[in-house]
Structures are given as structure tokens and as C-alpha cells.
A and B are shown apart, each in its own frame.
Chain A
Amino acid sequence: MNLPEVRTEDGSAAIRFARCWADFTKALSIYPATNMRVRTTLERMQSLHAEALSERGDAAGTGVAVLFRDEKLELNGEAQEDLGGGNLPWLRDRLDRAALAGVDFLPDLDTEAVIEFTKQLLRAYLAAEAHPSYEELWPEPFAGLALVDRRFDGGFGAAARGTGTTHGRGGGGGTARKKKVRKRAAASGGRRGGGELEGEDLVDVLMGDGDVMIRLTRIRALTDQRTDSDERVSATELLYRIVENMPAEALKDRRTFLEAAHEVLEALEVDAENGRSDDRGALSDDRTLKALLHSVSHSHFARSGPDKTSWARETEGENEGGPRKARKGDDEITDDVEGLLEELAALPEAANLVLTRDEVERPAEELTVCLHYLTNMGEAEQPAHLGDTLRRLLDTPGEPEMEALRACILADVARSTAEERPVGLTPIQSFLRSTNNTTLLRSCRLFSPEWVVEAFPRYFVPYLESVNPVVPAEMAQLDEVCRAIGPDRMIEAARETQLEAKLLNHTVVTRLLKEPTPARLALARLCLSWFGQPVSPKIAVYLRALDPEAPEAFLLYQFSNLADLTVDYLLAIIDLELGRADPRRLRDAVSGALCRHIRRLGTADPSSPERVESIRSLGRFPSPTANQMLRELMRGAWRPFSNREPGVVRRAARAVSRTTGKAA
């Protein structure tokens, strides 16, 4: 896979807004809405939206329209040269699967509506296998957003404002959706959960569950085959109906609620496939969605009596050897030998069944069980021989074990992210590290570029550890990964990954920076954040090789001892190269590095030309620190065991002071 390049923030506000929208969508696909990363990106999106609006200066009421047409990005009706880079191609794919060409972000942009829309977009992507239509996916408008149907063919500008012909159904009426939702919610009793689900819209909870939406899509696909198009109802109506009829005891926590919903949906899917049995048990061939809606109200929650759901009753016998799921009650199943023989004949032939060792015993199953304990128990609680057993299982793992390990690690990452746990060594990672098994992680294909980028910042540190600097393909891949992650994400991850990085050997990582590729600038910054001064010289060499154009970069060449370059300075130079310059900070960093250099040389060789040069350089970057330094130099007060600097130093300091007009 060719990962897209990330451009630095140039271009119009509209293009930057579009990229930011793509970044936000990507972030929300990984992190929950409350995550800082998501919120920060959304705020930036808002700010860029305002900037783009003012940049346009058009008539009031027009928004910022971002569309994808013919493999090109269209901003406010103007086709761009390409797709725009960054996460935009990824976003285009999501929009396409959701039957959208793009979105017009209206002036009254509502951030909560943006979040809701994005969640729906991501859910639609999951449910896209059944190719639902625009109407099915977007029945309700979103405040401040005008959705553009993929079918739209006319010119955007006029149609988007309601004067076009085949414009896709958009929204725009912010209050409209809320009204409709309120009405529907009122119809369902305004059903909100209690306990863990306190205050949550239960239909939203269901729509937020990928499995629910996939099953809903399948039901839809099954029932549509039997329904005329003008009689079709929205599949989400099924969710409303389920919520309306859900017994109170199912609403006490999320898990119980989702389990109950899954059971009903599963039964409905079977009904949709095979035909329903009505309240009296009679089979009906009516397999339309309407019929299923009716059955939700009258059958699925009424099967076992007025105050019990089928799921509650079916778990009665659990202490008798496991839950039973019967289409009829167990009481109706008789001792009928003939009946048994008939049912037996329907099963596959088994007379010659012989099991191999590999079928009887599956190390992959054993491994997932052991990893369950590893990830779900604190170290103090873990079974005494868990580690030994895991080591044995991972000693010579086959492909199934590697897949099992991969599945467990992916689940661990997903859970860590969902719970917003800080990045750090997960139990699996700690264990693998203790067994020196970076090779195992590699064998799990956990260092594919896609996954490293997707899971970032989790597992980024082990990935770095695994990269072999002498293999050009791996270094090229590292560049791809760094570009795809982007400097912003990488910089933000510095603090999160600090703990994990403590276990890294920094010489390994700085070897990765031997080649002066700009793609690894953010990585260099990350290294500096992690390791600080010990890696400064290597980072300085890397930066020298990049040959930055900024005048402030002169220190890279002026200091003979690169260890004199401070971390702050190097960070500031990198930020400058990444287009994140903070002038004041840069100035302070330069003068700070100069001062440090001057002090150090003052002990070793106070009148050296290099020291004098640094003193002169202070004049180019006046700052309080620089001024203080100059005063000290002129007084000579700081030098140990002597109260005078050499004349050449004092003269240089005086000259600089005069120049800057800040004489002591």
C-alpha cells in the first residue's frame, strides 16, 4: 500500500480545512469523541472553517463545500489538482461507501452535529456491504451540514443552495433534525437508560455498536428482497421498536442491553431468512421488515410472559450445563426416538470421524486463554505458572499461534484506546519484551505500515525497535510510516510514549536518523523529547545533513562541540523546519544555546575565537538571557577564581551591547 504524503500546512484555508476534516474523521475512527486528540482536531477544524469563510468573503449563507468528484477534490466548486493528500483519500473512500460526494459546511456549523455525522459516516462504512441507499443511510439532516448525495450531477454552487435540480438531500435546518429526533424519541417514550446507561439515547447506543449495524444491514438486505420499494420502511425503525419494547431489567447496564438487543436481532435475522412463527407458533411466510417490526412488538418480548424476556428465561438453566437457545421451549421437546433419528440424519456424516492431534489440541486456543489472564489480571494476581506456560507456547509458534497473538494484541490496543488508557507497555508487550520477542511481534505482522499508523502511538516504540537501519526497504517503510502519521500526531505523542520509550536503547533509534530524510524530522523531535541531551549530538548531525535554510540554524555549524547545542535549540530548529515556528521560543532557544556555549568555553578556553564568535552572535538574537550574559561578560563576575574576563571577551561583549542598545 502506498501511504499518502503529508504536506506541511500550506495552501488556502479551504484546503487546510478539508485536510483537517479528514484528520478529524480519522481520529474519531480510532479514538472516542472525548479523546483530547479528537477534540483538539475539531477545534482546529472550527477555526479553519471560520478562516475559510472569511477568506471567501462571499455572500452570507454560503459555506465551505468539500466534495470529491472524478478522482479530484473540489473546494467550493473549484476543482483542485489532486485529492489533496494526507487523510483526504481515506476520507473520500468513506464518503463514497456512504453514498456521499461530500459535505457543505454551513456558516452555523455545529460541532456536536459534526461528531454525530462522522459517527454515522463510520458506521455506514461498516454496513456498506449491503450497499444501502442514500435515503437509508441519511434519513435525518445534521445541523450546519448539507450532505451531498453521490448521485448529484449538476453544478454544485447553485444546487447546493436549493436552486439546482437533482441535488441530494441535504440538511441545513439545524433545528429540523432535532425536532424529528425529539418526536421519535417521544414516540419511543424518550427511552433513555439507567445505571451505566444513564441519560444515553438507547437507539444511539445501538447505532454505535458495529455488530448491531451489520446485523441490521443483513436484515435489511433479506427483507428488501421481499418488499416493493415504495413499501420499504427504515431499518432503523427496527432499533426504535426494540428499544421501545426492551424490558427495564435489560437497561441497567450497557452489556446487558446490547446482549438483549443482539439476541432479538439474531432471532429477527433468522425470522427474516426462514419465516416467522407468530404468537401461536404458526409459521408465516411474511418476511418483510414490517412483519418483523410487528413481531418485535408482539412476539420477541412476549414469549415468556409479561415480565420476562426470552433472554432472561433462556439463561435459567445455565447452572445445569450451559445456556440453551431453543426455537421452541425445552418443554416441547419430547422423547421421540423417530424424531431424533430424523434430526440426526440432517447432520453431516460422522461415522469415519478421526481426529488428528492438531485438531484435538490447538495451541492457538491455549495461547488466547493464557493471554486473557495476562491482560485481565494484575501482575500480583496472575497465576503462578502463567509465564512459564506462555513461554512454552511461544517457544516455537506456528501460524495459528501468531494469528492468535495478533488478535489478542489488536484487541488489547483497541481496548486501551477505548478506555483512554495512557500509552505504555501493555501486559502483552511487557511480557514479550521480557522474552526478547520483538521478532514475534514482527511475525504477527504487527509492524505493517498500515497497522503501525492505525494504532499510533501504541506499538510505535516496539516498531521503531524492530526497524533494521541497514535494510533500505525497512528504512523506506519507516519514512512512509512517519509521513502517514504526520508530524502533528507524532509530536503530540511524545508525552504519551515517554514511559514506553524508557525501555528503548536510544542508540538504536538514533541510528534510524543516520540518513537525512525530511520524513523523519518529527521522529527526530520525538527522540529528543524522549532522551534529551544524550542524543543531541546525533540529532544535530542529522539536522546538519538536512541543511536547514533558516538563519537560526547557523549554530549547527558554528559549534565545534555539538554537545553544546541544547535540546531546546534543536527542538526549535526542527519545529521551524516543520512549519511550527514560534519566533520567541526560537530566539530564546538560540540565545540559550549561545550562553551555554559561552559559559562552557569560559572554563576551558575563555579567549578562544569560537567563544568570541558566540558572543558576537548574541547580538543577532537579543533576549533577556543574552543581555544578562553580556552584562556578566563585561563585569567578568561569573568566571571562577577571577573577577575579569580576558580583554577580547569584554570588548566583544561591549560591542554587542552597544549594538543592541542594552548596555548594563
Chain B
Amino acid sequence: MCDQHLSEEERAARPKGAVRFVDELVVAMTNSRIYSGGHPRLESSLGALVESFDRLQGEHEDGGFELGCADGFLFYDRRPLLGASLSSRRLIDPLVALESGGIAFDPRTQRDHLRTLVAYLSTGCKDAETYTQANESLDRQGCPTVRFLPPYTGLTGDGGPYEVGAQKEPSPRDVPTESIIDLDEDIDLPINLYQDVVYVLQDAMMKTCRGETIDVNEALGNIEAILRQLEVDTKSMMSLARYEAYDEFTFGHSIRVCFIALNFARHLTDDRALLERIGLAALLHDIGKAWVPFEVLHSTGLLSDEEREEMSLHTVYGGQILLDTPDSDPLAVAVAFSHHQTPSGGGYPRSVRAGPQSAATAIVKLCDVYEALTAVRPYKPRMSPTRAYRIMMSMQDHFDPVLFRRFIEVNGIYPVGSRVKLDSGELARVESQTGSLTQPVVTTTHAASGESLFREDAAKLDLQTSNAGVVEMLQEAEM
């Protein structure tokens, strides 16, 4: 996951174009579920898809390329697209259902072919049971240049990482000679859980855009799973909370706020039912953005007064959307509505205030601002937690001071799951916080030489008692 130890060339070789293509493909698939054919939004996303496709095609001499799929991941050029895979469940699911190893794009592929593919994928390829039947269906729809691929061979029995030198007879789609999962093995990322949550949020957004009511029960199931995962392995969960890639539909933001809020809240109460409700409220706190015009939501420049006004309505919309659902939880409604209000009565929307803000709202508000400050956006670099906390300090009466202090203590200057550089030159991953914010418990992952360490060679250090200290926190790279 961390490429700090790679050379410039190796880093440059990372499949950025493929990630972009996958993102655009998923966006187009989502838009085709929301908008009818010919809608400007759909056409625009198709245009972006074609653009990224053309760029990717340009990287290949013959103009054709493959997008692989195995074990819940997408692959490109034999490298896993972990980041893209996290939010591409909607693309991966039909491929898995067809037992397909991916999609191949012929050099002759044109816009209409991509349109057909998008439409077909967004329906889940329901008219086919195998990849062969899916290809026949594409032929019938006039799309001969895109093919669903046979599955990868050489999978281990338990679906685990691929093994070099598989026993089976070689086939055109044999596993590559090198390990294609270039992941550090110090953590097991709960990828499927993340994908599930993205899927649920995407679904909620689409339903909201179409004016349908959302079903929160599925989301509640995810929240339970997140809580369990946090209890069992905080590090892996919070690592995903630090994932960098920016996604078009702000799902990542909501998911990360949910992770951070749940991790924080579980240090404040043992009440499981309450924690689940807080998690759900955090996950859905920005659901109102589904009703904010796209151009406003994704504007990268300064908003005009009218646009700012429209943007601020997402809180009112959010409460409204949740109140439209059966058995809506008033806690989630209140959080969606109030999370941009300040305890002193400021903020928006303007409304009657009676009494103090609930801790649930205050928690989500804290996590929302923190995530927004520390997340990657196309137009700004990532901010360190330290600087984020200091900026939040300067926001005077926006946060409850006791809660804010506890948040910093729980979240830490070096949050759990983040990667740090020690004064020995070694790289390490933060395991847990201690009583000292600058001295967490870490596990080394790379030697000072840059070589990654095997698990058995990694050392767990409590920096309060060891001689080592943190020099700096490292940025995660896009996977």
C-alpha cells in the first residue's frame, strides 16, 4: 500500500489512467441508473469515460487493453487497483456473477460501444449467466469490440492471494509470473466491508435522486459489521479511513466520517445500540447532497452566494430525505439537519434552538470537519492531523471543548493505521494510542534501508518506553 520506498519510475508506472477509467466507468454506470438516456449528466459522464478510455488506449501500442477482475479486485496491467476496487463493487459484482475475469477493450472501441457496455453493466447483465452469454448479448446489442474475459486461473482453493507457478495447465489467462498483489502484509484490509458500505451508500444516493425512499436497514447491518471490525482490528479499519482517492459522489467522505465517528464514540459509551445509531447517523449525515445540483457539489472554485446558499440546503434536504423513510431514526434526522450548526446558535440552517446540541450531532460535526480538512481533494493537498486540529481550535465556539479534546486524544496526532517514519529511519504503522499523543504504539513495516519487513521480523514498539520517536507522518499513496 505504501509506495514511499519505490523509485520515481516505479511510482510513475502506477496505473493512474486505469484508476481514472474505472472511476469514470462506475460514475457512468451510476448515472445511467439515475438519469434517462440522453440526459446531459449522463452524456457528460459518458464523455468523461470516453476521454479516459482514449488516454488509456494511448498507452498501448495496439490500442487495446484489459481490465482484470479476480478475488473481488480489479486489475490493470497485472497490478491491483485497490483504491478503484473499493468503490467499484457495482462493476465487480456482475463480473463475479458471470465468472468473468474482466473486460477486454478492442482498439476499435467507440463511444457507442462504451455506452452499450455501461447500460448493460448497470443492469447487472441480468440476461446472462456466464461471460460467454454476456458476450453474445453484447453482440446482439451491437457491441462487438468489448468482451467479457474468462476467469483467471491459478486461484488458491481459499480464494487467497495468487501463488506463483500454479499447478494448472497454462492458459491464455494464466496468473502472471510475479505476485500481482503488491500489498504490505502487515494488515488485512476489510475491503469487502468497505465495498459493501460504498454499495449501500451508492444505492441510497441513487434512490434519493430518483425520488424513492431509502432502506436504512441494510446500512445498519454494515454499521454493525464496522463496529465489530473496529473492535477486532482497529488498525485495518482506520487505514481505510485514511484512503486518499477522491470519489465523485462524496461516498468516501461519508464512509470515513462514519469510521472516525464510530471509533471515537466507542471510547465514550458501551451502549451498542447507541453506537450503531451514531454510526448510521454519521454514514448518512450528508445524504442531502443527493439533492444539491451536481455542479455546485463538485465545484472546485469559489462558490457564488447563490451556490453557497444551495449547498447549505443539503442539511435541510438530508433531514427531509431521512424523514421520508419508514421508521426513520430521529437521531439521524437531527444529525443530518444540525451538523453544520454551532453549539452557540450559529451556523446553518437557521432554526429554533432549544437546549444544547446532542453529543451525536457534536461528534459527527467534529468528525466531518476533521475528515474534510485531512482528506485529499482535487484542488488541495492533504493536511496533517496536527494542523487540522489547530485549525479546528481556532474555530472558537464550533465545537464542545471537552469533546474536542477527547477526540484528539482518541484519534491521536498519529492516527491508528497511519504510517510514520521513526528517527531510526524505519517505517512503522501506528497500532494504538497511548497516554502520550506523540508516542503511540507502532509496528515496524520497513527497515531503514527501505526494505519491507516480513511479519515475523516486524517489531512492536511502545514509543513511550522505547528509545524510538516519530519523525514524521507519511502520506499514503494511491494504490
- Within 8 Å of chain B (Cβ to Cβ): is A455? no
**When the two chains form their complex, are residues A372 and B352 in contact, meaning their CB atoms are under 8 A apart?**
yes
Chain A 320-344 interface mask (CB, 8 Å, partner B; 1/0): 1111111110100111110111011
Q: How far is the CB of A333 from chain B (nearest CB, A)?
A: 5
**When the two chains form their complex, are residues B330 and A366 in contact, meaning their CB atoms are under 8 A apart?**
yes
CB contacts (< 8 Å) of A606 on chain B: these are none
Query: Chain A: which residue is nearest B404 at the CB level?
Result: A347
CB within 8 Å for A372 and B278 given contacts A325-B395, A327-B394, A389-B323: no
CB within 8 Å for A363 and B394 given contacts A315-B308, A347-B401, A403-B354: no
- Within 8 Å of chain A (Cβ to Cβ): is B288? no
Query: Chain B: which residue is nearest A332 at the CB level?
Result: B394
**When the two chains form their complex, are residues B402 and A353 in contact, meaning their CB atoms are under 8 A apart?**
yes
**When the two chains form their complex, are residues A385 and B325 in contact, meaning their CB atoms are under 8 A apart?**
yes
**When the two chains form their complex, are residues A393 and B394 in contact, meaning their CB atoms are under 8 A apart?**
no
- Within 8 Å of chain B (Cβ to Cβ): is A550? no
CB within 8 Å for A366 and B269 given contacts A344-B405, A360-B359, A361-B274: no
Q: Pick from B319, B401, B437: contact of A373, CB below 8 A.
A: B319
List 11 contacting pairs A-B, 8 Å CB cutoff, sorted by A: A348-B401, A350-B403, A350-B406, A351-B409, A359-B359, A361-B274, A368-B352, A385-B326, A389-B328, A400-B355, A404-B352
Chain B 336-348 interface mask (CB, 8 Å, partner A; 1/0): 0110100000010
CB contacts (< 8 Å) of B377 on chain A: these are 320
- Within 8 Å of chain A (Cβ to Cβ): is B356? yes
CB within 8 Å for A365 and B357 given contacts A324-B395, A335-B387: yes
**When the two chains form their complex, are residues A322 and B369 in contact, meaning their CB atoms are under 8 A apart?**
yes
CB contacts (< 8 Å) of A404 on chain B: these are 352, 354-355
**When the two chains form their complex, are residues B357 and A362 in contact, meaning their CB atoms are under 8 A apart?**
yes
Which B residues between 293 and 337 are near A, CB-CB below 8 angstroms?
297, 299, 302-303, 305, 308, 311-312, 319-321, 323-328, 330-331, 333-334, 337
**When the two chains form their complex, are residues B387 and A333 in contact, meaning their CB atoms are under 8 A apart?**
yes
**When the two chains form their complex, are residues B394 and A324 in contact, meaning their CB atoms are under 8 A apart?**
yes
- Within 8 Å of chain A (Cβ to Cβ): is B140? no
Query: Chain A: which residue is nearest B392 at the CB level?
Result: A324
CB contacts (< 8 Å) of A343 on chain B: these are 390, 393
Q: How far is the CB of B16 from chain A (nearest CB, A)?
A: 24
Known: A350-B409, A365-B354; 14 extra A-B contacts, CB below 8 A, are A318-B311, A326-B395, A327-B394, A334-B387, A337-B413, A348-B401, A350-B406, A353-B406, A362-B355, A365-B338, A366-B358, A369-B330, A383-B319, A400-B355
Consensus secondary structure, chain B interface: helix
CB contacts (< 8 Å) of B387 on chain A: these are 333-335
**When the two chains form their complex, are residues A340 and B274 in contact, meaning their CB atoms are under 8 A apart?**
no
Which A residues between 522 and 537 are near B, CB-CB below 8 angstroms?
none
Complex Cα distance, B325 from A400, in Å, reads: 26
Complex Cα distance, B351 from A403, in Å, reads: 15
- Within 8 Å of chain A (Cβ to Cβ): is B389? yes
The 4 closest A-B pairs by CB, nearest first: A321-B372, A383-B323, A404-B354, A366-B330
Query: Chain B: which residue is nearest A371 at the CB level?
Result: B352
**When the two chains form their complex, are residues B368 and A322 in contact, meaning their CB atoms are under 8 A apart?**
yes
Question: What interface size band does chain B fall in?
Answer: 35 or more
Complex Cα distance, B319 from A334, in Å, reads: 36
CB within 8 Å for A340 and B389 given contacts A319-B311, A322-B372, A384-B323: yes
CB within 8 Å for A368 and B353 given contacts A354-B268, A363-B330: yes
Which A residues between 389 and 417 are near B, CB-CB below 8 angstroms?
389, 392-393, 400, 403-404, 406-408, 411
**When the two chains form their complex, are residues B274 and A357 in contact, meaning their CB atoms are under 8 A apart?**
yes
**When the two chains form their complex, are residues B391 and A326 in contact, meaning their CB atoms are under 8 A apart?**
yes
Interface residues of B (CB under 8 A from A): 213, 265, 268-269, 271, 274, 277-278, 297, 299, 302-303, 305, 308, 311-312, 319-321, 323-328, 330-331, 333-334, 337-338, 340, 347, 349, 351-361, 365, 368-373, 377, 380, 384, 386-387, 389-391, 393-396, 398, 401-406, 408-409, 413, 437-438
**When the two chains form their complex, are residues A355 and B269 in contact, meaning their CB atoms are under 8 A apart?**
yes
- Within 8 Å of chain B (Cβ to Cβ): is A503? no
- Within 8 Å of chain B (Cβ to Cβ): is A386? yes
Q: Pick from B327, B334, B347: contact of A369, CB below 8 A.
A: B334
**When the two chains form their complex, are residues A347 and B402 in contact, meaning their CB atoms are under 8 A apart?**
yes
- Within 8 Å of chain B (Cβ to Cβ): is A370? yes
**When the two chains form their complex, are residues A335 and B386 in contact, meaning their CB atoms are under 8 A apart?**
yes
Which A residues between 130 and 164 are near B, CB-CB below 8 angstroms?
none
CB contacts (< 8 Å) of B373 on chain A: these are 320-321
CB contacts (< 8 Å) of B320 on chain A: these are 373, 383
**When the two chains form their complex, are residues A361 and B331 in contact, meaning their CB atoms are under 8 A apart?**
yes
Question: What interface size band does chain A fall in?
Answer: 35 or more
Task: Identify which of B312, B326, B334, B361 gathers the most chain A CB atoms within 10 Å of its CB.
Answer: B334
**When the two chains form their complex, are residues A362 and B356 in contact, meaning their CB atoms are under 8 A apart?**
yes
Complex Cα distance, B358 from A359, in Å, reads: 6
Interface residues of A (CB under 8 A from B): 249, 256, 315-316, 318-328, 330, 333-337, 339-341, 343-344, 347-351, 353-357, 359-373, 383-386, 389, 392-393, 400, 403-404, 406-408, 411
**When the two chains form their complex, are residues A365 and B361 in contact, meaning their CB atoms are under 8 A apart?**
yes
**When the two chains form their complex, are residues A347 and B269 in contact, meaning their CB atoms are under 8 A apart?**
no
Q: How far is the CB of A284 from chain B (nearest CB, A)?
A: 20
Complex Cα distance, B211 from A383, in Å, reads: 12
Q: How far is the CB of B270 from chain A (nearest CB, A)?
A: 9
Complex Cα distance, B392 from A330, in Å, reads: 10
CB contacts (< 8 Å) of B371 on chain A: these are 321
Task: Identify which of A322, A368, A371 gathers the most chain B CB atoms within 10 Å of its CB.
Answer: A322
**When the two chains form their complex, are residues A324 and B391 in contact, meaning their CB atoms are under 8 A apart?**
yes
Complex Cα distance, B406 from A343, in Å, reads: 13
CB contacts (< 8 Å) of B278 on chain A: these are 360
Q: Pick from B277, B390, B402, B405: contact of A334, CB below 8 A.
A: B390
CB contacts (< 8 Å) of A383 on chain B: these are 319-321, 323-324
Complex Cα distance, B357 from A363, in Å, reads: 10
**When the two chains form their complex, are residues A337 and B405 in contact, meaning their CB atoms are under 8 A apart?**
no
Task: Identify which of A350, A365, A370, A406 gathers the most chain B CB atoms within 10 Å of its CB.
Answer: A365
Complex Cα distance, B334 from A369, in Å, reads: 6
CB contacts (< 8 Å) of B359 on chain A: these are 355, 359-361
CB within 8 Å for A340 and B413 given contacts A369-B319, A369-B333: yes
CB contacts (< 8 Å) of B356 on chain A: these are 362
Query: Chain B: which residue is nearest A249 at the CB level?
Result: B305
Complex Cα distance, B395 from A330, in Å, reads: 10
**When the two chains form their complex, are residues B334 and A341 in contact, meaning their CB atoms are under 8 A apart?**
no
Complex Cα distance, B353 from A403, in Å, reads: 10
Complex Cα distance, B386 from A340, in Å, reads: 7
Q: How far is the CB of A441 from chain B (nearest CB, A)?
A: 16
Complex Cα distance, B346 from A318, in Å, reads: 14
**When the two chains form their complex, are residues A364 and B354 in contact, meaning their CB atoms are under 8 A apart?**
yes
CB within 8 Å for A365 and B395 given contacts A337-B438, A350-B402: no
Query: Chain A: which residue is nearest B470 at the CB level?
Result: A337
